[in-house]
Amino acid sequence: MKACTSDEMSIIKSNHLDTHNSCKSTLENLNEKPWKAIFKKIIRNSRTRRKLRQLDKAQLEDIGLTAADVEQEVNKPLWK
């Protein structure tokens, strides 16, 4: 069996840590209660739609939207 250099050991530890953090994050997302995810979506939709309403005509043109597009989006239920 070949002995690892300190650089190789650092890479192995880094990869292990990255994998651990990724798995931990995934488990946290899976364990999130459905109502909590819906609540987060409602808050995010509320914020983004409020900001969308504040854009002027030139800014909307820059992102390829019309006033009708904005009206359609902001009138959706917050959970959608």
**Domain co-membership, 47 together with 22:** no
Is residue 66's pLDDT more than 90? yes
Looking at residue 39, its amino acid is: F
- Confidence at residue 34, expressed as pLDDT on a 0 to 100 scale: 79
**Domain co-membership, 56 together with 25:** no
Q: What is the rounded CA–CA span in Å between residue 75 and residue 62?
A: 22
- Structural domain boundaries enclosing 22: 1-31
Q: What is the rounded CA–CA span in Å between residue 60 and residue 66?
A: 6
Q: What is the rounded CA–CA span in Å between residue 54 and residue 50?
A: 7
Show the tokens assigned to 36.
């909590």
Is residue 47's pLDDT more than 60? yes
Q: Which residues contact 6 (CB under 8 A, 6 or more apart)?
A: none
- Confidence at residue 46, expressed as pLDDT on a 0 to 100 scale: 92
Average pLDDT over residues 56-74: 92
- Confidence at residue 79, expressed as pLDDT on a 0 to 100 scale: 81
**Domain co-membership, 26 together with 54:** no
If one counts the domains in the chain, the total is: 2
